[in-house]
Structure formats: structure tokens, C-alpha cells
Chain A
Amino acid sequence: MTDLLEALLRGLGTGSVYALLALAFVIIYKATRVISFAQPAMMLTGAVATSYIAPAIGFVLFTGLSFFISVALAALATAALALVVERLAIRPMVGKEVFVVAIITIGIDIAIRVVANGFIGLGARPIGFPWGLDRVELLGLQVQIRHLVMMGTVAVVVALLFLFFQKTRYGLAMRAAAFDQEAAMTQGVSVGGVFAMSWAMAGALAAIAGSLLATGAGVDRQLWLVALAALPAIILGGLDSLEGAVVGGLAVGVVEALVGTYQREYAPWLGDNVALVSPYVLMLLVLLAKPYGIFGTPEVRRV
């Protein structure tokens, strides 16, 4: 029972980060109808930026706070990078086939990632997270502090996002543009501005997610693969649903943690590291039943 609960908590911890990554994908998708495969690069850039900023300001402030400040600064930097990318490579392609744009983002991803890798160096780079892999005892369960930090940070970010979309005029503009671009345009919404904002927000979210993920073992060259684990999450939830992204992300995290805990005991013939591919298997299973995910809008085709 303790094992199960601890696995669930671990899963919810990483799952909340997946939810953040999935939100980034969904925000871009809703605004531009394109899946940005450049998100892994944005995530890596954010994590690398944090690992450089944190030591620089760490000695001024007390433990913990400096980490969160550097994550926020890294998120801003990554958002700026995303803005540049959007303006140079994505805006000229408005109205072109979505698949071509998706492949462009793959090209961007490859190029940015090489540069970010150059800053990591050969081994893993510590990110300046004060607690590392330390655990605390919570209601008789052993929990890693970093998982609690993940859940807390993500809860705050998601709440802020919700307020932004519901209460501000920019959030309203983004919702309007996602619903119907032409109608939004006639009401004076700058659709180009919405595209730019969606990329910047997605970049910032990816940077936060990357920094949180790297709290354990530091930033290494394999970190970007984790961002792709958010793809099953958005497919599970449905490409165009923000709630779906959160639910899908948590589900993927929990399934991964459960498989990681119990697979060796019950199905050893599957080999090592099955947990890493379990999100994709889960995705295939869900799609067999529901082709547009759990919360996604089925495509209505007019003859």
C-alpha cells in the first residue's frame, strides 16, 4: 500500500510537469493549428539558462528562493527566444500546409538543441536546486521534495494561466482567435500578436518544465526526450483541450510511475526501462477506442 501511494505521488509529481509541457503544445496548437516540435529545444534552453543563472545569483539570497527567481528569468529568456523564432520562421508560413510548418519546427529544434548542448558540456550540469534528491516524510510516506515542488509550482502556474485566459483581455483575444480567426480579426484582435503570444507562453512553460525536470539529476543531453513524452499526454487529452492536457499529463505521469514500480515484478520479460515507452503504449490503446482523445473535439466534416 505504501509502495502504491508513493508511486502515485511520484507519478503526480512528474505528471504535473508533463501537464505543463502538454499545455505548451496545446496553447500553440489552439492558436496556430500547428504542433510545435521545437518545444524540446525550448525546454532544454530553459533548463540550461536556469543552470547558468542560478549559481550567478545564488549567493545573494537564501536557499530555494534563488532557484525560483532563476527559473522565472530563464522562462523570460526562453520566451524571448520563442518570439524570435516565431517571427522569423513561423509567421511567414501562415496559411501554408500545417505539416510543412511542423517540419520547419523540427528543423528549428535540431538547430537550437545543438547550440544548447554546446553549453551543457559533456556530463550532466547541476541546476542549482538546493534539495537535490532529498526526501521528507509526509503522513508516513517518503516523498522527494522535488516532486512536491513540481506539484506546487505547476498548480500555481496553471492557476495563473486560468486567470489569464478568463480574466484578461489578452486571454480573451487568444480564446477568440482560437475559436475563429477571421471573426476575431474583424473584432480587432491582432491574430499575429496572438501567434507571437502563444509561442512566447509555450516557450516560458517549457522552460519552467525543463528546469523542474532537471532538479534531480541535472541537465543532460537526453533531457529533451522527456518533452516528447508530453505528446502522448496531449493526444490522450485531445489536441485542442487545455483541461485535457492537464489530465493527460497527470495520467501519463502516474502510468509511467506505476509501470516503473510494478513491471519488474509482474512482467519482467518486457525488459528494462519499459516505463519510458509506457506513455506511447497507453496512447495507442486510448486511440484505438477514441480517435480524438478523451477531451478532444471530433473533427466535423462538411460535404
Chain B
Amino acid sequence: MRGRPAFYESYSQELALFNTRPKQVGVGVLVVIAVLMPFVLQDALLRTLAIAFVFAIGALGLNIVTGLAGQVSLGHAFFLGVGAYTAAAISGDPEGRTIGFGIQEMWVWLPAAGIVAAICGVIVAPLATRLRGLYLAIVTLGLVFIGEHVFREWSDLTGGAGVGRTAAEPVLFGFNFSESSASFSRDQQLYLLMFVLMLVFALAARNIARSRVGRAFSAIRDRDMAAEMMSIDLPRTKTLAFAISSFYAGCAGALLYTISGFFDPASFNLLLSVQFIAMVLIGGAGTVGGVIAGALFISLLPTLTRELPAYVPMISSQVTQTPNVFQVEQILYGLLIVVFLLFEPRGLFGIWVRLRTYWKSWPFSY
């Protein structure tokens, strides 16, 4: 229907991957811009963006279980850790200080990290499917603490607290992305790699949301009892949601530390989980575009606050002085979550929807 993009003639049309032309064009333009970025931006910023893309993969996973299926999980950091250690162990040096099998190819360690994390998700699920709401949040929080303990103590695998181990190497068919090649620098390559991977994971997430399973997730979120009446098997569907979400988390964990090359067992703490929750909620729970925007926003926040001392003379950039950048960053971070949820509970995506409606219905405000 020309000129009437919101007029659907069939369900398949409404459920299409990009159900309107502007969406198709918009996503295309954004992708082109993102691909051109490495030739414009400096390496330090590219590296931050690459990390942001990996965070986006993890947040998309949390979005499946929390945004789509409505099961609040504070345990995302645990699954991230499982993925990170699986990948590091598979690709690690067999002669090294920590466990390693020396298989460096990414197409081996990346799916393996996801699958091991997903298995952990399935093991936890029987507890999780019996609980609802805040009980579930607290139980998954317990998971983070138990996981942190295991990571800290199992020093053959993790290198132990305060020491850490090297992360997996991003090698694909013999090409190592973390070594500068003739035409690209290390950060440019990693940026492109992470961007492509994020696109793949985002497409998959969108497709899961469109599929039968994804619609079952939303049904459970909206009213679990009604979903049950429509012959949706609650325990099985919830377990599936946990498994998919953990798969994403495992992959994100495996990729995250390839950028810095090194990681410590203390990384997988409650704060990391909260960061993911913040990405999903600030971005817009249940939406793919919103969650990616939320992940970019939260990951770029430190870069923005680092600029503050130049403008506000009171804030110092020294750790030892009291109003310093790191404290301001943390406070801003906490307050942003509060302010966002107070004024726009639907997050960045909600702001976008409001803007869109304003322009679409202009000059009528209703």
C-alpha cells in the first residue's frame, strides 16, 4: 500500500523483519555509517565502540530473558564469565600457566563458549522456572556471588584473584584480528569484526522475537497464566529463554576480553550484571534497536565523563582527590538509571517513539 506504511494486509507483513520501508532504509543507512567509522575515528574511540558492540551482544541476550520473557535475571555476569573462561581455555596455550587446549580458531571457541554457558543456563533453569518476580532476581543474584567464588578459587582455570589469565585470540581461518595487518590497524579490525558479529546476533535476536518461540516468550511476560491456557509449556519455554540468553552472554563474555587481551576473575561481579540491566532498561526493554542504543550509551558514558574536568574546574582527574572523575562517573551512572526510569520508563526507545509520533502527526499533537 503506497503512502500507508502502517496498513497491513496480512500477519506475515506485520511480522516481517523490517515491516516498514523507512525502517529498511534507516537501518541500511546506519549500517553504512558504522562501516565507514573506522576511516574517520581515532583508534581509542574505535576500541571503546568495539567493546560497546560486545556489550550490545550481551544485552541482547539479557533482553531475550528479561525484555521478552519477563524473567528478571541479575545473574548475567555469571554466564558471561562461563563463556569467557570456556573460550580462553579452548584457545589458551597448552604449555601455559593456566588450562589451555591450543585451538585458536574462533569458529570453534565462540560457539563452544555460548553452548557451555547455555548448558549452565539450563542447569539453573529448574530453580528459575519455579520462581517469579523478585524471588528470581535475588536467586540469580546469589548465582553471581557463587560464580565469583568459583572463578576466584579455581586458579588452574582462571589464574586466581588479582592475577588473571590471557583471553582468547580472535583468529578466523588463520587471520588474527588482534594483530595489525598491512592495510588496517588492530583497533580497526576488531571494530569491524565486533560490528559484524553484533549485526549477526541482533538479526538472530530479532528473528527469535518474531518466531513462534519469541511470541510465546512475550505471551508469558504479558500474562503467564493466559499463556499456559494457550498450551504454552511454561517450564520448557522459560528454560529455553534462559538457554538462549545464556548463549548470548557466553558469546559476549568470550569476545569481550579479546579486545583487552587479559582478564581477572573479579570482573564478573554484581556491577557487571547491573550494567546489563541498565542497558536493557535505559535502551528500552523488549526492543532490539533500543537495547543496542542503550549498550552504546552506557559504554560511552565513561568516555564522556572523562571530558568533564576540562569544563568543571571543581572535579579533579586525580584518583586521590575527592570529587574526582571516577566518582562523578559512578554517581552519574546511578542517577542516570534513576532519572531515566522516573521520566521515561520505556527508555531511549520510548523517546524515539515520541519523537516519531510527533513528526508523523505534525501539526496535530494528538
Contact = CB atoms under 8 A, between A and B. Distances in A.
A64 B346 CA distance: 52
Interface in A89-109: 89, 92-93, 96-100, 102-104, 106-109
Interface in A269-293: 270-274, 276-277, 280-281, 283-284, 287-288, 291-292
Nearest to A85: B338
B338 A89 contact: yes
Contact of B139 (A96, A272, A277, A287): A287
B337 A104 contact: yes
Contacts of A98: 133-134
Interface string B267-300: 0001000100110010000000000000000000
B182 interface: no
B132 interface: yes
A178 B144 CA distance: 31
A299 B141 CA distance: 21
Contacts of B331: 110-111, 114-115
Nearest to B339: A107
Contact of B334 (A97, A110, A271): A110
Contacts of B139: 235, 283-284, 287
A35 interface: yes
Interface string B324-335: 000100110111
Which secondary structure characterizes the binding site on chain A?
helix
A221 to B, nearest CB: 12
Contact of B141 (A231, A234, A303): A231
Given A104-B337, A110-B334, A287-B139, A271 B149 contact: yes
A34 B72 CA distance: 14
B225 interface: yes
Contacts of A281: 146
Contacts of B337: 103-104, 106-107, 110
B330 A103 contact: no
Interface in B32-66: none
A204 B141 CA distance: 25
B345 interface: yes
Given A277-B146, A284-B127, A102 B134 contact: yes
B196 interface: no
Contacts of A234: 138
A202 B131 CA distance: 25
Contacts, number: 122
Contact of B338 (A107, A231, A270, A288): A107
Most buried by A among B138, B330, B335, B337: B138
Contacts of B154: 271
Given A92-B342, A100-B281, A114 B327 contact: yes
A118 interface: yes
Interface residues on A, range: 35 or more
B201 interface: no
A273 B153 CA distance: 9
Contacts of B72: 99
Contacts of A277: 145-146, 148-149
Contact of A100 (B132, B142, B145, B341): B341
A232 B137 contact: no
A8 interface: no
A273 B149 contact: yes
B135 interface: yes
Given A99-B133, A111-B331, A35 B138 contact: yes
Interface in A112-130: 112, 114-115, 117-118
B274 A106 contact: yes
A111 B338 contact: yes
A274 B154 CA distance: 13
B236 interface: no
A240 B338 CA distance: 26
Contacts of B137: 35, 99, 102
Contacts of B278: 103, 107
A294 to B, nearest CB: 13
B334 A291 contact: no
B338 A108 contact: yes
A301 interface: yes
Nearest to A122: B320
Interface of B: 72, 127, 130-135, 137-139, 141-143, 145-146, 148-149, 152-154, 225, 270, 274, 277-278, 281, 322-323, 327, 330-331, 333-338, 341-342, 345
| A-B pairs with lowest CB-CB distance, top 3 | A271-B153, A107-B337, A110-B334
Interface of A: 34-35, 89, 92-93, 96-100, 102-104, 106-112, 114-115, 117-118, 228, 231-232, 234-235, 239, 270-274, 276-277, 280-281, 283-284, 287-288, 291-292, 299, 301, 303
Given A110-B331, A239-B135, 15 more contacts: A100-B281, A103-B277, A103-B341, A106-B337, A110-B334, A111-B330, A114-B330, A117-B327, A232-B138, A235-B139, A270-B153, A271-B152, A274-B149, A287-B131, A303-B225
12 contacts: A89-B338, A99-B72, A99-B134, A107-B338, A107-B341, A111-B338, A276-B145, A277-B145, A280-B143, A287-B127, A288-B127, A291-B135
